[in-house]
Amino acid sequence: MGTQVIMPQLGESVVEGKVSRWLKQIGDLVKLYEPLLEVETDKVTTEVTAAGEGTLLKLYANEGDVVKAGTLIAFIGAAGEIDPHLGLRTDPHPGPLPTMEREEAPRGNGSSARISPVVARIASDHHVDLALVPGTGEGGRVTKKDILAYLEKTEQSGLPRPQVGDIRAAPAEVPLEAWEQPGLGELFRPTEEVFGKAAPASPNPIAPVAAPAAMPGEVLPLNSMRKAIADHMVMSKRTSPHVTTVFEVDLSKVLAHRNQHKAAFERDGANLTFTLYFAMATIAALKKYPLVNSSWNESGIVLHRTVNLGIAVSLGEDGLIVPVIKNADSLNLLGLARTINDLADRARRKQLKPDEVQGGTFTITNHGISGSLFATPIINQPQCGILGVGMIQKRVVVVTQNDVDAIAIRPMVYLGLTFDHRILDGDSADNFVAAIKQMLERWA
Instruction: Look at the chain and count its residues.
Output: 444
**Chain-centre distance of CA 99, in angstroms?**
46
Catalytic residue among 93, 261, 345, 421: 421
326 and 361 Cβ atoms separated by less than 8 Å: no
Q: Is 421 a catalytic residue?
A: yes
Rounded (5°) CA angle 218-221-223: 150
Torsion (CA) 170, 172, 177, 180 in degrees, nearest 10: 0
Q: Report how far residue 78's alpha carbon sits from residue 55's, in angstroms, rounded to the nearest whole number.
A: 6
Give the 3-state secondary structure of residue 52: coil
Q: Is 425 a catalytic residue?
A: yes
Q: Which of 317, 2, 387, 364 is nearest to 173 (CA)?
A: 2
**Chain-centre distance of CA 311, in angstroms?**
16
Amino acid at 301: I
- Sequence-separated (6 or more) residues with CB below 8 Å from residue 82: 88, 89, 90, 167, 168, 170
Give the 3-state secondary structure of residue 204: coil
369 and 314 Cβ atoms separated by less than 8 Å: yes
Q: Which of 325, 329, 337, 331 is nearest to 264 (CA)?
A: 337
Catalytic residue among 261, 367, 425, 430: 425
- Sequence-separated (6 or more) residues with CB below 8 Å from residue 69: 7, 8, 9, 10, 14, 15, 16, 17
Pairing verdict, β 313-314 and 54-59: unpaired
Q: Report how far residue 260's alpha carbon sits from residue 265's, in angstroms, rounded to the nearest whole number.
A: 10
- Sequence-separated (6 or more) residues with CB below 8 Å from residue 310: 322, 323, 324, 325, 357, 360, 362, 363, 364, 380, 383
Give the 3-state secondary structure of residue 116: coil
What does 231-259 look like in DSSP terms, one character per residue? Answer: HHHHHHHHHS-EEEEEEEEE-HHHHHHHH
Q: Which residues are catalytic?
A: 421, 425
